[in-house]
Amino acid sequence: MSWGTELWDQFDSLDKHTQWGIDFLERYAKFVKERIEIEQNYAKQLRNLVKKYCPKRSSKDEEPRFTSCVAFFNILNELNDYAGQREVVAEEMAHRVYGELMRYAHDLKTERKMHLQEGRKAQQYLDMCWKQMDNSKKKFERECREAEKAQQSYERLDNDTNATKADVEKQLQEMDERRTIKLSECYRGFADSERKVIPIISKCLEGMILAAKSVDERRDSQMVVDSFKSGFEPPGDFPFEDYSQHIYRTISDGTISASKQESGKMDAKTTVGKAKGKLWLFGKKPKGPALEDFSHLPPEQRRKKLQQRIDELNRELQKESDQKDALNKMKDVYEKNPQMGDPGSLQPKLAETMNNIDRLRMEIHKNEAWLSEVEGKTGGRGDRRHSSDINHLVTQGRESPEGSYTDDANQEVRGPPQQHGHHNEFDDEFEDDDPLPAIGHCKAIYPFDGHNEGTLAMKEGEVLYIIEEDKGDGWTRARRQNGEEGYVPTSYIDVTLEKNSKGS
């Protein structure tokens, strides 16, 4: 079926139809363009989301250790790859579909314009033939032969005109059919663009599922135990005894309070201000540098730090030993082949390497001695432990007597107050002043050794006076009946304050 045969007289309708076909083609191209923009924006938002939740790692120490964190970072990586595939879809559509459609629409417009111009010329030629036929009819009566010739010419021209118009309509039909075929190809390309990345997207989703399955809660819990385990001995059971009556009697009849009342009845505000001015050393003392042997850490953490240092020193020692062997080999080569170099030039470097090896061996020996000391103490306390589980629970339930700690020595919370070079100066200052009044009493729930300076050793069940409350650092200042003062862990005592006391 041909347009030239069936639609020979519908030239204007065909003009509108072909224009509609080109408009529809451009509309579909606009749809593809908007879809490409959606894909690009979606990929950009996915990448911004991944970038927002990815960690900023400044050092190896901050790398994630928990499997839950590692799994989440793997999911972020897979999501980033998924965003890349959406960008591939957008690029494929832009290259194969949108660009091709725009070029093809431009070619169709040019071709249609040319065909329409030819059709209009044929129509003008047909109109001219009809006009000539009219003129021939008027002359029919005058010149019959001329009329016959004009009739013959008319028929000939009419047949030629119809043939030319049919050819134009056939060309228009062919153009529209090619447009329809092109749309069919673009429909397939639109679907193929996304079908190609479906396997990669499936792998990304499978990677996310594998990352989720790799979460190991027991491993994470064990890492928490290893990070915060202190190694301190858990306290044992203790009998309960009521010492309240004895303490009240001691406070009312003791020499401390009596002497305080008889010595001029000092104003309470003056005493408080004086006490605060003197006690700055035992309050929020600036944090000092970490000790070389890590004795400021709990036993378990100290053992781990020493073991890490020994491993690092062994690695450095191995590097220096390898360098020494390499220098010796190079020296032998120079001695056998003097033209390659001077053996004496290697002597300073060789001597420096030997000094480094000796220094590292001394450091390793010193740290191994500290480690043996820690392991010996830990082993002795381990004989008195009921089980590792009890130790873990008690350790997590109370603060360490040595002060709070973390794995990083630079982030440690200070322990009890330390006195160094100014010990005698402050002792003299406190000896000249009156002792602080007792604001309550306490009973030791657990024993405390009190090895550090400024602390007060106590036995389980021992009763002490409270002369200064805990200020949030985990330590309470206490005093024995013999006048000995110091700090004790707040979590190790049961505190009872006087009702009318205003505090130290």
Portion of the chain with pLDDT greater than 70, in percent: 70
Q: What is the pLDDT of residue 121?
A: 87
Taking residues 189-193, what's their average pLDDT? 88
pLDDT in tens, 149-170: 767 776 776 666 555 666 767 8
Residue in this structure with the two tokens 């820690």, named with its chain if needed: 374
pLDDT in tens, 332-366: 888 888 888 888 888 899 899 999 999 999 999 98
Q: What is the pLDDT of residue 138?
A: 75
Which of 144-158, 246-260, 392-406 is predicted with the least confidence, judged by mean pLDDT? 392-406
Res. 232 pLDDT band, cuts 50 70 90: low
| Residue 248 clears pLDDT 60, i.e. is over it | no
pLDDT in tens, 440-479: 999 999 899 887 888 899 999 999 999 988 887 788 999 9
Taking residues 182-211, what's their average pLDDT? 90
Q: What is the DSSP letter of 442?
A: E
**Six-digit token string for 160:** 């030629």
Taking residues 224-228, what's their average pLDDT? 79
**Cβ 306 vs Cβ 367: under 8 Å:** yes
**Cβ 122 vs Cβ 164: under 8 Å:** yes
Question: Would you list the DSSP string of 439-489?
Answer: -EEEEESS-B---STTB--B-TT-EEEEEE---SSSEEEEE-TTS-EEEEE
| Residue 273 clears pLDDT 90, i.e. is over it | no
Res. 173 pLDDT band, cuts 50 70 90: confident
CA 151 from chain centre, in angstroms, equals 94
Q: What is the pLDDT of residue 43?
A: 93
Q: Which residue has the higher pLDDT, 375 or 60?
A: 375
Q: Calculate the average pLDDT of the chain.
A: 76
CA–CA gap between residue 166 and residue 185 (Å, rounded) = 29
| Residue 388 clears pLDDT 80, i.e. is over it | no
| Beta partners for residue 468, in sequence order | 477
